[in-house]
Structure formats: C-alpha cells, structure tokens
Amino acid sequence: MIFYVSQRCGAFLDDGQKVHFEFCRVNYEVYRNDVIRKKKLYKLYGEDNFIVIPRMDYEEIVRKFLKRISKVRQQWFHAHNMPQSDFDFCHAFHCFYEETGCYEEFAAFEKSILCKFAVEWCEEQGIAYTLEEPA
C-alpha cells in the first residue's frame, strides 16, 4: 500500500477547527476523528493501528508565504494592515489575498508546504508514500 500525499495533504492543515484526522496503518486511509467514532473504526481496525496526523498552523503557512513574495507585495501588506492579534493578521492577509488576486500562487504554495510537512511525517512514521496523483 502507498499513501498519496498530494491527495491528502489538507488533513495536515490546522485551520482552527476542532476536527482532526487520523491515519490508519491497515488500509492507508485518512479518517476524521468524528467518523472514526461514528463508524467504530477503532474496534474494526484496532486503536493501535491509528496515528493522529499532526497539523501545521495556517498562520505559519501565511507568514512563510509573505516572506517569499516580492518586496513590493510585502510593503503593500505592511502599509495597509497593521494586525494587532493573530485573528487580525489572518484577516489582513485575506484582504491582501482578495485585493492582489494571488489565489493560485498561494494555493500552490500552501499545497507545497503541506506536502513537505506530510512527507517528513511519513518518513518519521515509516509510511510508504508518493507525491504522484493516483492513476
């Protein structure tokens, strides 16, 4: 079996929701914690066969993205938005995101960062993986 990282990298994103995901070593599937309980998957596959998937903080991804974009964009962001809290920071980024139209650029960057994070985790856990899409 093989884990398709690029297909499941969203499970590694901490977007502030209380939902988390777990990886099943038996079938190489990823399940939401509420689905595991509802379908009694611990009983079916054995609780020891599930690993909680670590999550990367969304704000951390945004900050990495802002560090790599052009100086002009960085200046725009800092000139127009002076966030006082983490919430303000994320809100300010979304204003920037909307105004500059960097949707595709950010989406590709976010997926790349999450895939790298997921690959490191797979290697630590000894999970066979690929970055290729399933056929």
pLDDT tens by residue, 76-86: 666 665 555 55
DSSP helix/strand/coil, 1: coil
Q: Across 12-21, 36-45, 91-100, which has the greatest mean pLDDT? A: 36-45
- What mean pLDDT is predicted for residues 65-94? 69
- What mean pLDDT is predicted for residues 98-109? 86
8 A C-beta contact, residue 59 and residue 89: yes
- What mean pLDDT is predicted for residues 68-73? 72
| Reported confidence tier of residue 108, pLDDT bands at 50, 70, 90 | very high
Q: pLDDT tens for residues 15-34?
A: 888 889 999 999 999 999 99
Residues in CB range of 23: below 8 A, 6 or more apart: 3, 29, 30, 50, 51, 53, 125, 127
This prediction has a pTM of 0.83
The CA-CA-CA angle for residues 97, 87, 60, to 5°, reads 70
In the prediction, which pLDDT does 31 show? 97
pLDDT top residue among 19 and 110: 110
Q: Across 51-60, 68-77, 87-96, which has the greatest mean pLDDT? A: 51-60
- Token pair of 104, please? 């595709």
- Token pair of 102, please? 């960097």
Where would I find the H helices in 1-135?
A: 5-8, 33-38, 41-45, 58-68, 71-80, 86-100, 103-125
Question: Other C-beta atoms within 10 Å of 9: how many?
Answer: 21
- What mean pLDDT is predicted for residues 91-102? 79
Tell which residue, 61, 62, 68, has the closest CA to residue 96: 62
